Structure 1
Amino acid sequence: MTSRALLASPLGFLIGVSLGALGGGGSILAVPVLVFVAGQTPIQATTTSLLVVGVAAVVGAVGHWRHGRVRVGPGLLFGLLGIAGSLAGSALNRRLDGDILLLAFAGLILVAAWRIIVGCPSCTRVGEMQALRDTPVAGNGVAVRVRPDTLRLLKLVAAGTFVGFLTGLFGVGGGFVIVPALALVLRYPMPQAIGTSLVVIAVNTAMAFAARLGGSIDWGTTIVFTIAATAGVGAGTRIADHIRPQTMQRAFAALLVVVALYTGGRAAAGIW
């Protein structure tokens, strides 16, 4: 572990803070920090990011589970659907040039920033409707629920595979895809979609990380950065109670745009 890795540790803590405060998305900054500050290669950085994201997801999932916001079984199933995509993404990761990988990652950061800015209004509406459907009907006490049909199942399989691919390729959780999928396809209320998404992320990152164990892993930097980020998750959760979510989301989205432009610029310079 180098002095640059130690310098990156406080930034790892701040990434954990953003992850805890925003409920997701903060870990997407791990790869640029690990590359440009800690001095890791893009492939090493995406591997380290898998462990950071996975551990943070487990910590977050436990907290949501205690509040009854996690459906463990469906979350595990969704995660298992992503195994093939995760392995394919990991295989492609090992074959891509580092600068091309970073350029594609910059595009992913911009997509994440856009998702944070626009949100998912339809997810909220579906969640509210489902909450009403799950309420017992007056007079007979029978709860009306919607069972997923074949089309929804196909959508779920496609979403699970795509999320697994993103996780394997870029070392990210893919929460900006998972949460809408759970809300729109399985009709989960948003709190349960967010909590359950962490189970999916934990499974996907575990599979992708296991696929890379035979490669070159900078264990010193990986462990220190993961500990720092995990510590930041708890701090971010407490901060979230004192700052308006809209304010945090807008500021974070602006930061993502800046990081994406810098990452894309550095990667493009390396290619051309």
Structure 2
Amino acid sequence: MIITLGLAIGALTGLLGAGGGILTVPALVYLVGLPVSPAISTSLAVGAIGPLAALIPRLRGGVDWKMVLPVAGGGVVAAFGGTLLGRLISEEMLLLLFALLMVASGVQMLRRRPQATGSDRRPKLWALRGIAVGLLVGFLTGLLGIGGGFITVPALVFLLGMSMRLAIGTSLVVAMINSLAGIAAHAGVSNLDWGLILAFVIPSMMASFLTALLSKRVSNAFLQKAFAIMVLTVAAITVAQVLLP
């Protein structure tokens, strides 16, 4: 089961730049049977290691490195605040918040047309906008145990004018940094099961590397629609699991 989940989630991460935390947390809770807190910590560890394979094919021309610093910088700071708040909220409420954010992200991606190409022409105050995006994503990383790809990718596309392809690569770098900050913030909250993590991460990295290569041949429009469908599907499953007896 763990190997299969790792392959599936790695494939989505490589193709869409998201799918790690957004799918790992529900999968570990509902399919593996972990409590939410250990699932979040495990997801953060997976998010810090797993995206590396998907990033390798994108290192040249697939990442906006200038944007990484403000987005990741804001995220590192906010991850600690999200972790503190997460200790005060019930598991059911955390999962419902998770689903609500997924719905908002998926609907926005379906409504907006993707940028055809990336550009070095950034909007005014792009660094401040990047920090604002980072604060939001980092807070969610600490709160929900996600690298933030499902929020970072739409934010980079719609707020900062990136192409879908460039946003995916940039999001992978930010997700890894945010996950490391989230691990530090969660230190002492729950112990990591490294056997489980490695069983998950190794097949995940293999699949993400292959689908990252495939993504170069896929259009921005397809990537955006696939991203939206993924997050809306997971949101529906999460809500059903929480609300239905």
Q: Distance in 2 between matches of 1:93 and 1:267?
A: 17
SS of 2:172's equivalent?
Answer: helix
| Structure-1 residue corresponding to 2:148 | 174
SS of 2:32's equivalent?
Answer: coil
| Structure-2 residue corresponding to 1:103 | 96
SS of 1:37's equivalent?
Answer: helix
SS of 2:103's equivalent?
Answer: helix
| Structure-1 residue corresponding to 2:131 | 157
Alpha-carbon contact 1:83-1:207 (below 8 Å) kept = yes
SS of 1:95's equivalent?
Answer: coil
Alpha-carbon contact 1:19-1:27 (below 8 Å) kept = no
One-letter code aligned to 1:111: A
Q: Distance in 2 between matches of 1:43 and 1:160?
A: 23
Match of 1:194 among 168, 189, 192: 168
Report the alpha carbon displacement of residue 161 of structure 1 after superposing the two structures with TM.
0.6
Q: Distance in 2 between matches of 1:196 and 1:249?
A: 15
One-letter code aligned to 2:52: V
Match of 1:14 among 8, 18, 30: 8
Structure 1 vs Structure 2: percent identity of aligned residues?
33
| Structure-1 residue corresponding to 2:185 | 211
| Structure-2 residue corresponding to 1:24 | 18
Alpha-carbon contact 1:120-1:180 (below 8 Å) kept = no
One-letter code aligned to 1:213: A
Match of 1:234 among 206, 209, 215: 209
Residue 44 of structure 2 corresponds to residue 50 of structure 1: yes
| Structure-1 residue corresponding to 2:71 | 78
Distance 1:158 1:255, change over 3 A: closer
Tell me the matched-pair count.
Answer: 244
TM-score, normalised with respect to structure 1 = 0.75
Q: After the TM superposition, which of the residue ranges 23-32 and 165-174 deviates more from structure 2?
A: 23-32
Residue 227 of structure 2 corresponds to residue 259 of structure 1: no
| Structure-2 residue corresponding to 1:38 | 32
Deviations 1:186-206 (A, max 9, x none): 555554333222222211111
Alpha-carbon contact 1:159-1:178 (below 8 Å) kept = yes
Q: CA RMSD in A?
A: 3.0
Bigger radius of gyration? 1
Distance 1:261 1:186, change over 3 A: closer
Report the alpha carbon displacement of residue 148 of structure 1 after superposing the two structures with TM.
4.0
Q: Distance in 2 between matches of 1:41 and 1:179?
A: 28
Q: Structure 1 stretches of 5 or more lacking a match?
A: 1-6, 132-144
Q: After the TM superposition, which of the residue ranges 30-39 and 213-222 deviates more from structure 2?
A: 213-222
Q: Structure 2 stretches of 5 or more lacking a match?
A: none
| Structure-1 residue corresponding to 2:243 | 268
Q: Distance in 1 between matches of 2:139 and 2:150?
A: 14
TM-score, normalised with respect to structure 2 = 0.82
One-letter code aligned to 1:50: L
Q: After the TM superposition, which of the residue ranges 55-64 and 154-163 deviates more from structure 2?
A: 55-64
